[in-house]
Structures are given as structure tokens and as C-alpha cells.
Amino acid sequence: MNAICGLLREAPGEAKDMAAVLAALAGYGAHADEWAGGPVVLGGRRGPSGGGADPPLCVEPGLAVAADARLDDRDALCGALGVPPAARGRLADGDLIVRAWRRWGRDCPNHLLGDYAFAVWDAAKRTLFCARDHVGARPFYYAFPPGGFVFAGAVEGVLAAPGVSGELDEESVAEHLTGIALLTTTRTFFKAVRKLPPGHALTVDCDSVRREASSPRSPARPERYWRPEHAPRARAASDDAYAEELLEVCTRAVEDRLRGPGPVGAHLSGGLDSSGIAVLAARGLRRRGHPPPPVFSWLPALDGEAPAPAHAKEYALIDAVCAQEDLQVSHCALSPGDVVAVLRRDGALPGVHVQMNEEAVQRCAAASGVRVLLSGWGGDEGASFNGRGHLQHLLLSGRWRRLAAECRARGMGPRRFLLDCVLPLAFPDLMLDLRRLRRGKTLRSRRGVVDPAFRRRLKPRAEPPLRYLGVRYTQSWLLQSAHLSARMEGWAASGARRGIEYRYPLLDRRVLEFALGLPPEQFRRGRWSRWLMRHALRAVLPPEVCRHLVKDDPARHEPLRDASIRAMSAVGEDLAARASPPPRACYVDVPRLLDSLDADRMRAGRQNAPLCNALQFLDW
């Protein structure tokens, strides 16, 4: 990855302005690039993924681009841009973005596949055009300080620019501390710093800067260029034809993500998505004459002991995939020290709010020399979607005979039909609470460990429920909510500290648009959820992986819970012994927090996420 940044000012800025931004991005690499032209200064740091990485800046007469990009299907793109075959291998992805801008202008993101965040300065138009990929795999933050505009691939870079306020956004703080965590695709923990939403573009010029200064309540608005609900309908002659096309597009997505510098590794949980990605990556690397990728599991190492009976299935699924493809798995045990290390980071910055288990995975992957980590994250919203919303759509559209047949095929009686289909339509908030209880979580609380005075002054907004109004509607809602990009922003920031770049084949635009266009019945057949993905991978994965229906993973959750309780209890003792409160204690009910950090109380509870959020946010 590259860390990009840039400044646009009505009046020429000083060199120290960009120097401060680049200094804040030092963790992305020692080599810094900088270019200045007119009112714009662009910069970037090359990621530590090593030699051969594309430069962050590409400059041509009249145009300059700062790009953190990995473009897919380059041959087709080069063909559309008229690039001769002999020259294609020499062009960086930033060069292709410049050519795409010359050819298509503001429509260029619709012609680009892959993961990217970039800004193009067009000297003739005197505009800075910024764009982020369709799902937000690459971060892009920005702000409008007095008389200017600043962007960067990390929040720290934007905050380092002169004139950018570090004042906290108290609404975001309140939502975070209650555990409701209303994630948005635009807001951060800082009032002045915004995120460019996934699938959006933003055009900025000196007029935009002046309007922002004179009318801060009417900010420059990003424009959406990718809408999942507009994906074309897929058409195939049979179930087998759908499965073959899905396997082909997933294979192409994995192959494209094997390109570039650095050894490749992969997540492996034993589930359908991660197992499919690991196998396709292993076969793709072998075709290139490379060894298969090392794979990393969130499960703890057994050290020669047999797993507990409740955990045996998870280990057996991973072992089956590894035996089939001759893969070497690293079980990355999470220690209380790992938890403490995460809790010590500033909770207002991305890179903190990720699964604790990933801290151990990143440590193991970096020690193995891995620089690219493939993940199956995002499959549940696309190709591996479970068909939620289909029954509600049949009910609301009056297709009751078909609805009755679907219920019979699923073995769904009247009681379950009422609970799973009818009540979520009528009472989505109530059913969200009941679903949390069934999953072993507590009810959403407006109190949490928020300071009483702060809670009275600012109430968090309610978490919007998902209404199941059809398969395509539900998928589109999930893809446009913030949980996907939030994890990717966190993994991008935390992985950068160890020189690891994450890539997500199942969030490939081609894969998602194919999945969004599928007929609803391709996602579920009777009791078989995620049916088409199982059917597509039947010739790729061990049969037991394709047939496994349970998504619970106690072998991961129980050690994580134990390590977290031990770590948070120790942190509570440390906080109680401090002579002065942490800097952000004005937002947190510290006595209530310390009381809740008792190990016995945490073991008796079912949801300690608000406690973890508070400890991270305190920045102690």
C-alpha cells in the first residue's frame, strides 16, 4: 500500500505544511514523494511491501495523480485505453489512472476495477478529482481547514495539516461508548475529518474551498458512482451454469490479487469463504511456479493436545483443506499481552476497532515474511449470502403458494415463520434485540459506561434496523452500510504498521455484481443456505467443508474471551492505581467502568464490547 496525501490552497502553502503531513504518515515507509503545481501539492509514502511497489505519484504534462491503487483486469483496461501490449507491463496503476482520466474524465471510476483511492489534479480545469473504490478497500480521509482542502490515506495525516482541528465529534463518541456503534461511511471521531464514502467521488477546486469557508453547513458533497442495486440481472441456463460462472469470476478475482510485490498469505477459518480463497490462491500460485501460500487461523495452537470435543470440528475443517492442498497453517494464539497492546492504542484512530484475533495473525504473518494477506471477508454480503429477505418478499408480493413451498422445504413451521419472517417486518427494533439475545449478546444499552453528565448532554442516535424487503434489497443495504469499510479501514491501518496489505477477492466488483444479479433461489435451497457458493466450490473444496452448515466458532471465541477478560482485568487494576485520570475521562463513567472490569463480573456477563470500547477510547 501507499499512503497518499495532498493539499489545495487558495494561497500558495508553505513547504512545511506538506512536510508535517508526510511526517505523520512515516509508518507507511521511509521514502516520501512530493510534487507541487499551482495551488496543489501532492505527496505520498511508498508502502513497506518492498521493491517493485508502484510509486504513489504519477505526473504528466497538465496532470498529476496521487494514487493508492491496485487495478484489476489490466489487459482489458489497457486495451480500452489504447496501450500497446509491449508497454503494458511497464505502466504503474497510477499511470493508467491518469490515462483513464484523460479518456473518461469524471466517469473514469466506472471503468476501473480493483482497490483504489486517488486524487487527480487537472491543471487545465483547475480541479482536484478524488475517488474511492466501490467498497472502500483503500482509505481516504479529508478536511477543509481555513482557506484549503487536505486529504490523506490516514486520519493522522489529515490532522497534521495546519488549521485542521482535533476536536472530537461527540456524537460519534457517544455512539461508540454505548456499544451501539452507529457506523457511518462519512464521519470519523473528529469533527473536522470526514471519510470519502465507498463508491463515491469528490471534485474540489478553489471555489469549493471558498464555499466551504463561507457556508460550513453546506459542505462539498461527494457523488455516488457505484450503486449495487443497479447491478444487471444474471442469466444462465441451469444451476450448473450459474455455479461455473461464479467459480470462474471468483478464480479471476483471486488471480488478480496475486499480482504485485511481496509473498502472499491467506486467512483460513475452515469456513466456506476463506477455504475457497485459500485453495484458489494455492492453485493460482502453483500455476505461476510459486509455492502455495502460508495460511493463518484465528484458532489457538493445540501444542500436541487433542481439541475439546466442542472445538474438534473447526480444527478438522482446517486440517482437511491443508491436507488437500499441502498447506502449512499457523494457529495464531492470542495472548493477554496482545489484547493489552490493542487496548493501549488510541481508540479514536482506525486500526484499533478490529477483531482482537487479527493482532496475533498480523504478528505471525509478518514474522513469516508475508506482505499480502488474502481474506474471505465480505462473502456473506455477496456470493455467500444466505438469502435473507426472500421469504418477506414472497409474503409482501402475494406469492403465497411459492412462500408455502419454501417454508416446507426449509422445515419451517408456523412459529418459526412468525419469528423469522413476519415479526422482523412489523417490529424490526424488537427483533434486533431478540436476535442479539439469541446470539449471547446483551440488549443495546444507552447507558453503557458513558459519563452521566455527558449522556444527559448528548444522546446517541438509535441504530437503524435492517428491514428485510427482498434478497437484492438486503444485499444492497448491507453493502452500503459502514461495517464493511470500517473493518477494511482498520485492517489497512493496523496492517500498515507491519507492512501487510489486505486484499478481498469476494468483494471484487465483478463478483459482487454477479451475486447481486442472481435469482433469489440461488442463495438457498431448503436447509442449505449459501447454496450456490457450495455448489460452485464442490469440485474445489473437501466435501466436509462444503457440507458444513454451522457458522459458530467456539474454538476461537472462548480463548479470545478468556484472554480479553484477563487483560482487561489487569488494565482495570492499572487504571485504578493511576494518580490522575486519563485525558478522555470526561466522557467515561470511570468508577462504573472499573467496577465492571472485575474478572468474575465479566465472566458472568455476555457482552464486554462496550468495556473494550471505553478502554480503547480513554487513550491511557
Q: What single string gives the DSSP state of each residue in 260-327?
A: SSS-EEEE--SSHHHHHHHHHHHHHHHHTT-PPPPEEESSPP-TTPPPPTTTHHHHHHHHHHHHHHT-
In whole angstroms, what is the distance from residue 424 CA to residue 393 CA? 12
318: cell is 482446517
In a domain, 609, yes or no: no
Residue 114 backbone class (left: φ over 0; alpha: ψ -120 to 50; beta: rest): left
**pLDDT for 49:** 45
> What average pLDDT score do residues 426-434 get?
70
Residue 295 class from Cβ within 10 Å (0-12 exposed, 13-18 middle, 19+ buried)?
A: buried
89 and 167 housed in the same domain: yes
Examine the domain organization and report whether 8 and 74 are in the same domain: yes
Same domain, 254 and 178: no
Residue 608 inside a domain? The answer is no
Q: In which residue are the cell numbers 433461489 written?
A: 521
Query: 184 and 240: one domain?
Result: no
DSSP per residue over 17-71, as a string? Answer: HHHHHHHHTGGG-S-EEEEEETTEEEEEEE-TT-TTPPPSEEEETTEEEEEEEEE
486-496 per-position pLDDT tens digit: 889 989 998 98
Q: Specify the pairing of strand 524-525 against strand 528-529.
A: antiparallel
Position 607 confidence tier, pLDDT thresholds 50, 70, 90: low
Q: Is residue 139 part of a domain?
A: yes
pLDDT band (50, 70, 90) for residue 612: confident
Is residue 568, in this structure, part of any structural domain at all?
no
Indicate if 453 and 479 belong to the same structural domain.
Answer: no
Average pLDDT for 3-23: 85
Directed axis angle between helix 336-343 and helix 554-576, to 10°?
60
List beta partners, residue 63: 60, 122
Q: Which of 495, 518, 549 is the last residue of a domain?
A: 549
| 361 and 490 co-located in one domain | yes
Which grid cell is 173?
463518541
- Of 179, 211, 226, the last residue of a domain is 226
Nearest to 175, CA basis, from 488, 589, 463, 465: 463
Q: pLDDT, tens digit, for every residue of 154-170?
A: 999 999 999 999 999 98
- Provide the domain limits for residue 235: 229-383+474-549
The domain spanning residue 531 has which CATH number? 3.40.50.620
- Least Cα distance to 251 among 134, 383, 53 occurs for 383
Count the Cβ atoms, other than its own, within 10 Å of residue 519. 15
How far apart (Å, rounded) are the C-alpha atoms in residues 499 and 507?
A: 22
Are 584 and 617 within 8 A, CB to CB? Answer: yes
Average pLDDT score, the chain = 88
Place of cell 484523460: 102
Residue 521 falls inside a structural domain: yes
d(CA 2, CA 258): 17
In a domain, 573, yes or no: no
Instruction: Tell me the one-letter amino acid at 300.
Output: P
Q: Judge if 188 and 213 occupy the same domain.
A: yes
Question: What CA–CA distance (Å, rounded) separates 507 from 511?
Answer: 7
Residue-level pLDDT at 241: 96
Q: Does 441 score more than 70 pLDDT?
A: no
User: How many domains does the structure of the chain reveal?
Assistant: 3
State the DSSP string of 366-387: HHTT--EEE--TTGGGTTT---
233 and 221 housed in the same domain = no
The answer on 159 and 54 residing in a single domain is yes
Binning the chain into helix, strand and coil, the percentages to the nearest 5 are 45, 15, 40
Residues 359 and 461 grouped into a single domain = no
Confidence tier at 147 by pLDDT (50, 70, 90): confident
Asked if residues 297 and 329 have their Cβ atoms less than 8 Å apart, the reply is yes
Looking at residue 61, its pLDDT comes to 93
Q: How far apart are CA 163 and CA 9, in angstroms?
A: 12
Phi/psi at 579 (5° precision): -75, -30
CA–CA dist 590, 355 (Å, integer): 24
Helical residues (DSSP H) of 418-521, grouped into ranges: 423-426, 428-438, 452-457, 471-480, 483-496, 509-516
> Which residue would you say has higher pLDDT here, 17 or 43?
43
Q: Tell whether 587 is covered by a domain.
A: no
Cα separation, 80 vs 103, in Å, equals: 9
Same domain, 222 and 234: no
- Pick 616 or 245 by higher pLDDT: 245
Calculate the alpha carbon distances from 535 to 90, 276, 458, 543, 546 in Å.
39, 12, 50, 11, 8
Calculate mean pLDDT across residues 164-186: 81
> Of 226, 244, 261, which one is at a domain's C-terminal end?
226
Q: What is the mean pLDDT of residues 24-37?
A: 89
Q: Which CATH number goes with the domain that contains 107?
A: 3.60.20.10
**Residue 147 host element (H or E):** none
Three-point CA angle 557, 466, 440, nearest 5°: 25
Q: Which three cell numbers stand for residue 267?
A: 486467512
Is residue 449 over pLDDT 90? Answer: no
Whether residue 500 is contained in a domain is answered as yes
Q: In what order do the strands lie in the sheet with 501-503?
A: 329-331, 295-297, 264-267, 372-374, 501-503
414/363 same-domain check: no
Residue 540 has phi, psi (to 5 degrees) of -110, -40
Query: Which is higher by pLDDT, 302 or 43?
Result: 43
Q: State the Cα–Cα distance between residues 159 and 38, nearest whole angstrom.
A: 23
- The more confidently predicted of residues 309 and 245 is 245
Position 47 confidence tier, pLDDT thresholds 50, 70, 90: low
